[in-house]
């Protein structure tokens, strides 16, 4: 039996699938619920899937609808169908998404790849109707239950400078400590850093046209003008901080 937190704020869980991972998310009977949603032990207001660039749209929609009928998801969104609205809302153009000088080092990375990389989380932010959004890429999951969302939201609301929260990535606590400048009982605090693999944010902050900035020191993000680079730049330009929950980790397999 799963025991959920008593919610103080509504939270949308969102993830996205594309051609390379929709089978993992939708054909595996346990992956989406048991590895991505339930381990947070939170009664999410919404649980949505963004269907991004897939070849067999009809098949993927049918499988997503099956997850809705089983109450694993509350709904799904076809990114292609809302892409014009998403770009207009965030005051972006498809031509804004450009590959980087290092794109040749990665398989199949072109301007379209950069665009779809951003369209998935932007569609989730645009579509979510809760106070907060927890977004995970399809190749990220939890091995253990971590009750962290209530504590993280409380800190996000207490500390005006803190705008994003996440778990430790791949169990790399030493790496987290190196990137942080202080800690308390439950959290590490960092003055920079962002990953789209897993992030918890207030939609009041992120559901705005804030994704235009590209800093010179953001080029450690590979492939091009990706979503991560844009959020990193926005946060750092304003001195905003990142919160990392100490007592839980997610695994990223991409």
Number of residues in the chain:
254
Domain ranges of the chain: 11-252
Strand partners for 199: 135
Task: Report whether pLDDT(172) > 90.
Answer: yes
**Rg, Å, the chain Cα set:** 17
pLDDT score for 7: 52
- Rounded distance between C-alpha atoms, residue 187 and residue 31, angstroms: 28
Task: Report whether pLDDT(6) > 70.
Answer: no
Is the separation of the CB atoms in 167 and 248 below 8 Å?
Answer: yes
- The pTM for the full model equals 0.95
pLDDT band at 1 (very low <50, low <70, confident <90, very high): very low
Locate all alpha helices (DSSP H) within the chain, ordered by sequence. 22-27, 57-69, 79-89, 111-127, 149-158, 173-179, 203-206, 227-237
pLDDT band at 219 (very low <50, low <70, confident <90, very high): confident
Task: Report whether pLDDT(174) > 70.
Answer: yes
pLDDT score for 202: 98
**Using alpha carbons only, what angle is made at residue 213 by residues 198 and 109, rounded to the nearest 5 degrees?**
60
Task: Report whether pLDDT(127) > 90.
Answer: yes
- Rounded distance between C-alpha atoms, residue 87 and residue 114, angstroms: 14
CA distances to 21, 105, 222 from 113, in Å: 15, 14, 12
Residues of the chain with pLDDT > 70, as a percent, come to 97
Q: Which helix (H) or strand (E) is 222 found in, with range?
A: none
pLDDT band at 8 (very low <50, low <70, confident <90, very high): confident
pLDDT score for 209: 98
Per-residue pLDDT tens over the stretch 74-90: 999 999 999 999 999 99
Per-residue pLDDT tens over the stretch 29-82: 899 999 999 999 999 999 999 999 999 999 999 999 999 999 999 999 999 999
Task: Report whether pLDDT(99) > 70.
Answer: yes
Strand partners for 243: 165, 189
**Class of the CATH domain delimited by 11-252:** alpha beta
Task: Report whether pLDDT(131) > 70.
Answer: yes
Q: Which structure tokens are listed for 237?
A: 């330009």
Residues contacting residue 6 through CB under 8 Å, at least 6 positions apart? 150
Task: Report whether pLDDT(4) > 90.
Answer: no
The chain-wide mean pLDDT, for the chain, equals 95
pLDDT score for 5: 47
Average pLDDT over residues 95-102: 94
Are β-strands 187-190 and 241-252 bridged in parallel, bridged antiparallel, or unpaired? antiparallel
CA distances to 44, 47, 128, 129, 131 from 10, in Å: 7, 11, 11, 9, 5
């Amino acid at each position: 039996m799963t025991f959920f937190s008593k919610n103080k704020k509504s939270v949308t869980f969102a993830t996205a699938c594309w051609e390379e991972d929709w089978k993992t998310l939708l054909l595996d009977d346990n992956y989406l619920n048991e590895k991505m949603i339930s381990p947070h032990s939170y009664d999410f207001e919404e649980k949505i899937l963004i269907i991004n660039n897939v070849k067999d749209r009809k098949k993927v929609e049918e499988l997503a609808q099956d997850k809705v009928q089983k109450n694993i998801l509350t709904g799904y969104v076809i990114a292609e169908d809302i892409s014009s609205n998403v770009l207009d809302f965030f005051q972006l153009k498809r031509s804004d998404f450009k590959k980087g000088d290092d794109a040749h080092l990665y398989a199949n990375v072109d301007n379209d790849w950069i665009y779809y990389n951003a369209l998935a989380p932007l569609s989730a932010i645009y579509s979510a109707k809760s106070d907060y959004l927890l977004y995970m890429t399809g190749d990220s999951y939890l091995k253990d239950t971590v009750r962290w969302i209530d504590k993280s939201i409380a800190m996000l609301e207490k500390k005006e400078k803190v705008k994003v929260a996440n778990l430790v990535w791949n169990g790399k606590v030493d790496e987290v400590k190196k990137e942080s400048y202080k800690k308390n009982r439950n959290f590490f605090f960092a003055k920079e850093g962002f990953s789209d693999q897993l992030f918890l944010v207030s939609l009041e902050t992120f559901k705005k046209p804030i994704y235009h900035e590209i800093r010179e020191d953001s080029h450690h993000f590979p492939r091009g003008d990706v979503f991560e680079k844009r959020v990193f730049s926005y946060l750092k330009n304003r001195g905003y901080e990142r919160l990392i929950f100490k007592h839980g980790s997610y695994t990223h397999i991409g």
